[in-house]
Amino acid sequence: MNLMILKRFKNELIVFIASIFVIYAIFYKSSADSFVKNKKTDIESSISEISRVVELKKVWKSKSILKKINLFKTIVSKNKLESFKKRGQKVIVKYKGLNIKELNSVIKHIMNNPFQIVKLKIDKQGKEKYRVELICKW
Amino acid sequence: MGKSNKRLLVHKDMPNITTNENIDIILTPQFYTFLKEELGVKFAYQAKQIAPSLFDDYLDKSKEYQFFVYKCEEYWCFFAYDIDEMSLFLESRGLKKYQIGKIFFAQELSDKLDNAINLGEKTALKTIDNIVALVPKRLMGSKYIYKDLDLKDLSLNHGISIGSSFGSLIPLKQTVAITILLTILSTIFILEGNRVKSSIADSEEKEELLISKNSKLSSSRIRKSILAQYEPIDKIERLKRDTIEDISKLLSSNSHLKELTVDEKKVSAVIEANKATINQIISNATKKNLTAKKEGSVVRVERVL
C-alpha cells in the first residue's frame, strides 16, 4: 500500500526531492558565503597582525640599536660630552655647552632612531649654549 | 511502468479487477471515436491541431474530449476519447486512476483481429475494412470460434503516457519542468558556492607565505602579546617626537628655546620671545593642540602624553 501511495504521488515526490535539493543548494551557497566572509576577515586580520608585528619589531627591536646608542659618544666633540653611562638596555648621556648646530644634531639623532625617551632635558645656559640630559632605553 | 505493466482490454462488459499493480489499458471502440484521414500535414502536432474540427460532427458537445493522432501508413489515425468517462468506468471496475499506466487503442490490433475476440455475452471485437469495431455476437453465429488474444505479447507502439498524472496534484509535464528548473537552480547555487569558497585561495596563500617567513608568529596569541608590548611604545614615542617637531615649528628668528623637557608623562618647552611673537606662538600652538601659557616674557608650551 505504501508503494502504491508513492507511485500515486510520484510527481509530488519528485518535486519535493528537487525542492529539498534546491534548499540544500541554497543553504550550501549561504554557508559558503558566510564561511568565506569569516575566513576572509580572519585571514585579513592575521595578515595585518603579522605585518604590524614585523614592522614594530623591525623598528623597536632594531639589531643596530647599540651602534646607534654608541654614536651619542661621538656625535659632538669629546669635551662637550659630560657623561655617557650605559647600563643594560638603558643609557644616560649628558652634554654641556652645545651650540645650536650640535644641539640639532643630537635632537635629530634622537628623533630618527628608535630610542624610548625616558627623559630629555634641554636647558639654555648662556647665549646659544645648551645643556642636554638624556635617559633612554631600547 | 511501460512494457513491464500488465495489459487490460477495456470494454463495458469487462469483469471487476482486483489489483494493486499499474495496468496499461487498451481501449475498445466503446471508449473512443476513430477517424482515418489522408491529410497534407507532415507532423503529428499539426495533425493534432486540426483534430477537433475533424470530429466536429461526430462527438457529443456536452463532453470534453482529448485527441490522439499517429501516422498509420499514408493516413493519419485520429482518436477522440473522454478521459473522465473512461476513468470513471475503470474506477467502477476497481482500477484506480493512478494505477493506469499507458493508454492504447484497440485500432492498433487491426491486423490481429481478422478473427473476432469475445468481449462478453453480447459483443465481439473484430477488424472490418481495416477498422477495429464492436460486432454483436448474434451476427457471428453460434458456432463461431473466437480467437484467444494474448495481450502480453502484442507489439503496441502508440500509447499515451498520462496515467501517472491521474492521481497527482501536479501533472507530469509540470513535474518535469519544475524538476528541471529546480535542478538547474540547485546546480547554479552549488557551483556558485564552490566558486565563492575557492575565491579565498589567494588570501590563504598570502597568509601561509607570511607565516612561513615568520614561523614564530603563527600563533595569534603570540602576535597579540607582541603587539600589546610594542604598540603602546610605538604610540607614545611617536607622540613624543611629533610634539618635539611641533614645538620646533613654533620657533623663529624672533624666538628661541629656553628649556625643553620630555618625560614619560608630558613634553614641555619654554620659549623666549618678544611680546608680539609670544601671541603668535600661543596662537600657532593652540592650532597644533598644544597647551600654551604666557609666563612674563616667555611662553610655556606643553602636551600631556
Q: What per-residue confidence (pLDDT) applies to B68?
A: 92
CA distance A117 to chain B (A): 7
Mutate to test the interface with B, among A7, A16, A112 (most CBs of B within 10 A): A7
Interface contact B199-A15, CB threshold 8 A: no
Which chain A residue has the Cα nearest residue B172? A11
B200 within a domain of the structure (yes/no): no
Task: Write the CATH number for B287.
Answer: 3.30.1360
Q: Is A92 on the interface with B (CB under 8 A)?
A: no
Range of the domain at B45: 2-168
pLDDT by position in tens, chain B (length 305):
445 688 999 999 899 988 888 889 999 999 999 999 998 888 888 888 889 899 988 888 888 888 999 998 889 999 999 988 898 999 999 988 878 888 999 999 998 999 999 988 889 999 999 999 999 988 888 888 888 888 888 888 888 876 544 556 777 778 899 999 999 999 999 999 999 999 888 888 888 888 898 888 888 899 999 999 999 999 999 999 999 999 999 888 888 889 999 998 999 999 988 888 888 899 999 998 999 998 888 899 999 98
Candidates B78, B82, B62; CA nearest to B70 is: B78
Q: Residues 16 to 45 of A: which have CB under 8 A from any B CB?
A: 18-19, 21-22, 24-26, 28-29, 31-33, 35-36, 39-40, 43-44
Same domain, B272 and B149: no
In angstroms, the Cα distances linking B148 to B14, B115, B145, B198 are: 15, 9, 9, 68
Domain A65-137 has CATH 3.90.470.10: no
Burial of B125 (0-12, 13-18, 19+ CB in 10 A): buried
Taking residue B242's Cβ as centre, other Cβ atoms within 10 Å add up to 14
Q: Distance (Å, rounded) from C-alpha B171 to C-alpha B193?
A: 32
Is it the case that residue A85 has pLDDT exceeding 90? Answer: yes
Residue B187 inside a domain? The answer is no
Q: What is the pLDDT of residue B49?
A: 87
Average pLDDT of span A57-73: 88
Q: Is the same domain home to B45 and B156?
A: yes
Nearest to B278 by CA among B245, B252, B302, B259: B252
The reply to whether residue B217 touches residue A54, judged by beta carbons under 8 angstroms, is: yes
A103, closest residue in chain B (CA to CA): B257
Q: In chain B, which residue's Cα lies nearest the Cα of A53?
A: B227
Please name the member of A35, A46, A57 whose beta carbon is closest to the beta carbon of B226: A57
Asked if the structure places residue B41 within a domain, the reply is yes
- Within a domain: B27: yes
Asked if residue B205 is part of any domain, the answer here is: no
Answer yes or no: do B134 and B18 share one domain: yes
- State the pLDDT confidence band at A60, using cuts at 50, 70 and 90: confident
Number of domains in chain B: 2
**CB spacing of A14 vs B179 below 8 angstroms:** yes
pLDDT of residue B1: 42
DSSP B108-123: GGGGG-SS-EE-SSSE
Most confident stretch, A4-18, A31-45, B91-105:
A31-45
Residue B201 grid cell: 585561495
Of the residues A43, A59, A61, A107, the best mutation for testing chain B's interface (the one with the most B CB atoms within 10 Å of its CB) is A43
**Contact residues on chain B for A59, CB-CB shorter than 8 A:** 234
Domain-embedded: residue B116: yes
Contacts of A35 in chain B (CB under 8 A): 197
Domain boundary among the residues B145, B168, B191 is at B168
Task: Give the 3-state secondary structure of residue B84.
Answer: helix
The residue type at B11: H
Whole-prediction pTM value? 0.56
- Distance between CA A94 and CA A136 in Å, rounded? 12
3-state DSSP assignment of residue B24:
strand
- Distance from the A70 Cα atom to the nearest Cα atom in chain B, whole angstroms: 20
Q: What is the model's pLDDT at position A4?
A: 62
Angstrom CA distances, A75 to A111, A128, B137, B193, B262, stand at 14, 18, 134, 64, 21
Say which of A21, A119, A120 has its CB closest to residue B182.
Answer: A21
Partners of residue A93 in chain B, C-beta under 8 Å:
none
What pLDDT score was predicted for residue B48?
87
Residues B159 and B239 in one domain: no
Q: Say whether B178 and A15 touch across the interface (CB within 8 A).
A: yes
The pLDDT score that the predictor gives to residue B164 is: 47
Residue of A nearest to B236 (CA): A116
Residue B207 domain-assigned (yes or no): no
Res A102: pLDDT: 92
Mutate to test the interface with A, among B222, B236, B260 (most CBs of A within 10 A): B260
Contact criterion met (CB < 8 Å) for B170 and A15: yes
Q: So what's the pLDDT on residue B92?
A: 93
Mutate to test the interface with B, among A9, A29, A65, A136 (most CBs of B within 10 A): A29
What is the C-alpha separation between A45 and A35, in angstroms, rounded? 15
Cβ pair A26:B189 closer than 8 A: yes
Cβ separation of B256 and A124 shorter than 8 Å? yes
Q: Who's near B72: CB < 8 A, 6+ residues apart? A: B36
> Where exactly are the structural domains of chain A?
2-60, 65-137
DSSP B296: T
Do B126 and B24 share a structural domain? yes
Closest Cα in chain B, distance from residue A59 (Å): 9
**pLDDT exceeds 90 at position A133:** yes
Sign of CA pseudo-dihedral A55, A56, A57, A58: positive
